[in-house]
Amino acid sequence: MDEYMKPLPKVNGDNEEFWKGCREHRLMFQKCADCGHIRWPAAALCPECLSMDTEWIEAGGRGTIYTFAVYHVAYLAAFEEDLPYVVATVELTEGPHLLTNVVGCGPDQVTCGMPVEVAWKDVTAEFSLPKFRPVLKREYGIRKFRI
Ligand SMILES: [Zn+2]
């Protein structure tokens, strides 16, 4: 693994279970034990009912593109090699919206509503990042790109 020069997540008491899950290639989210709301970002309180009673659940890793942008400018030098790249909000099947990258297809192939699945990127010994790739379906005509 080459030295990773991009920013890494800031782990805190609320999100450490999420990042621990990512290291194991498991997408974990908090679920309110009172109202059932599944939330992201991780927080001490449920934003729906303010309950502090929380359990962690594993998401299936599938969703759809809610919205996206194609970056043609690298605001940090470490991202230049990726240009152009896609930053997207993925709406997971379980409900949370996750800010991520779309990989495995060209930026011109990404559309809102496109089905995607998690594609783990191991960037350091401590961190694996959940990126998303198209669910390959013949009707989308997705060309394969390296991740
Ligand atoms: Zn709640």
CA of 84 to the centre of ligand 1 (A): 39
Q: Where are the domains of the chain?
A: 10-59, 60-147
Asked if 86 and 16 touch (Cβ cutoff 8 Å), the reply is no
Describe the chain by its helix, strand, coil percentages, rounded to 5: 15, 35, 50
Ligand 1 centroid distance, CA of 95 (Å):
14
Residue 1: its pLDDT value, please?
55
Q: What is the pLDDT of residue 32?
A: 98
**Which tokens go with 49?**
């009912």
pLDDT (average), residues 137-146: 54
CATH class of 60-147: mainly beta
* 129 residue type, one letter: L
Q: What is the sign, positive or negative, of the torsion defined by CA atoms of 100, 101, 105, 106?
A: positive
Report the 10 Å Cβ neighbour count for 62. Answer: 16
**pLDDT given at position 79:** 95
